[in-house]
Amino acid sequence: MLPDFDTELELTVSEFVALHNHVLEYTMPSVVITGELSSFRVSKNRWVYFDLKDESASVKFFGTVYQLNGPLEDGMMLKVQGTPRVHPQFGFSVTITSIQLAGEGTIRRAFDLLQQKLVAEGLFDAARKRELPYPPERIGVITSKESAAYADFCKVLAARWGGLEVTLANVQVQGEVAPAQIAEAITQFNQLAEPPEVLVITRGGGSMEDLWAFNTELVTRAVAASRIPTLVAIGHEVDVSLAELAADERASTPSNAAELLVPDRRAMVAQLAATRKSLGQLLSATAKHATVKLTQRSEQLESLVEHRIAQARRNLVTHRQILDLLSPKSILARGYAIVRDELGGVVRSADAASKQGQLEVEFNDGTITVKPKEK
């Protein structure tokens, strides 16, 4: 016998769950719930489960890791948007649409956690930093078109340098869509056939909550992954955002970004004038040096020639002395004499001499005539 249920509705379990979901969908298609995070866990690197609780209640949430903007931990205050539903097996939960951090304390904590994680990955390493071209000719700017940051950047840039091609990607720099828009703009610039030589990602100052987009994992990773060198300039006084840490260079304000990016043309004009002058000085120094060298070489040439002449003179004297030694005159000085006949022919034997009427005998100091006696 069936028990007597006093009810209008009799359903199977599946029908009951389906009806429940219809009612929820109709009455609460989307809901935002704020509470403290507990029992946070990630399954298979893909599924996210946690509870949000307050003093007297706790609600289960379910989503994917793609909805996380950074590491979370129990105790954080979250503002979660989602769709409530009843799962056929696991019961009631809220399917997550988006997660926002609530309160400065939680934002701070999330920042620290993400920073630790990215530091460990080496995303902020000094070795990763590239030098920005100086000055670049094509600049990509990612910011809000209407912002004072953009106006300031353009103004300072134009005052300092000319002939630049500036391409703006107009994005929201705060609010829920900001991280995705900024990351998408970075990707888009990198995919251009002729990409800019440098990417400037900038906005003016604000509270930590205002600057939240620049502390998200999505934007920080996009900055780090950019093939185009990056300059991130967020106007603030105290904290440095994670996007800035990931950038190749950072600037304190949008104006400062423009100052870092290009030289001041007035300073350059002065420097060029100085260079023109030093070119002239270098040329005249070279000419002077060449003259000195030429003088040295002509002196060298002169002394070489003098040396050769002196040498020749010395040789001449020596030769002269040898010649003198070999001359017949010097033999006469040693006591010899030359005997000649009347015709001047040299008489070489006593026999020949005896046949002559008279003989001429030449000594060193003169000649005498003698008559030979018979042998």
Minimum CB separation of residue 53 from another protein in Å reads 37
Q: How many residues bind another protein (CB under 8 A)?
A: 39
Which amino acid is located at 226 in the chain? S
Nearer to another protein, 21 or 97 (CB): 97
- Residue 124 DSSP SS3: coil
Using CB atoms within 10 Å of the CB of residue 232, give its burial: 0 to 12 exposed, 13 to 18 middle, 19+ buried. Answer: buried
- 173 near 183, Cβ under 8 Å? no
Within positions 260 to 279, which residues make up the interface with another protein, using CB under 8 A? 265, 268-269, 272, 275-276, 278-279
Which amino acid is located at 304 in the chain? L
Q: Is the sign of the CA dihedral 144, 145, 147, 152 positive or negative?
A: positive
Contacts with another protein, 178-207, as mask; x by CB under 8 A: ------xx--xx------------------
Q: How far apart are the first and last CA of the chain?
A: 199
Contacts with another protein, 290-309, as mask; x by CB under 8 A: x-------------------
- Choice from 33, 164, 332, 353 touching another protein (CB under 8 A): 164
Minimum CB separation of residue 289 from another protein in Å reads 5
Nearer to another protein, 168 or 208 (CB): 168
Minimum CB separation of residue 234 from another protein in Å reads 20
Please tell me the distance from the alpha carbon of residue 361 to that of residue 89, in angstroms, as a whole number: 160
151 binds another protein (CB under 8 A): no
Within positions 42 to 101, which residues make up the interface with another protein, using CB under 8 A? none
**Could you write out the DSSP letters of every residue in 288-324?**
HHHHHHHHHHHHHHHHHHHHHHHHHHHHHHHHHHHHH
Please tell me the distance from the alpha carbon of residue 231 to that of residue 29, in angstroms, as a whole number: 42
Minimum CB separation of residue 285 from another protein in Å reads 8
- Residue 84 DSSP SS3: strand
Tokens of 83: 């769709």
167 binds another protein (CB under 8 A): yes
Q: Is the sign of the CA dihedral 288, 293, 294, 300 positive or negative?
A: positive
- Choice from 163, 344, 357, 366 touching another protein (CB under 8 A): 163
140 binds another protein (CB under 8 A): yes
Q: Which stretch binds another protein (CB under 8 A): 82-90, 120-128, 219-227, 284-292?
A: 284-292
Please tell me the distance from the alpha carbon of residue 358 to that of residue 371, in angstroms, as a whole number: 4
148 binds another protein (CB under 8 A): no
Minimum CB separation of residue 266 from another protein in Å reads 9
Please tell me the distance from the alpha carbon of residue 361 to that of residue 369, in angstroms, as a whole number: 6
Minimum CB separation of residue 157 from another protein in Å reads 6
Please tell me the distance from the alpha carbon of residue 134 to that of residue 261, in angstroms, as a whole number: 7
227 binds another protein (CB under 8 A): no
Please tell me the distance from the alpha carbon of residue 347 to that of residue 360, in angstroms, as a whole number: 10
Residues in contact with another protein by the rule CB under 8 A: 133-135, 137, 140, 145, 154, 157-158, 161-170, 184-185, 188-189, 265, 268-269, 272, 275-276, 278-280, 282-283, 285-287, 289-290
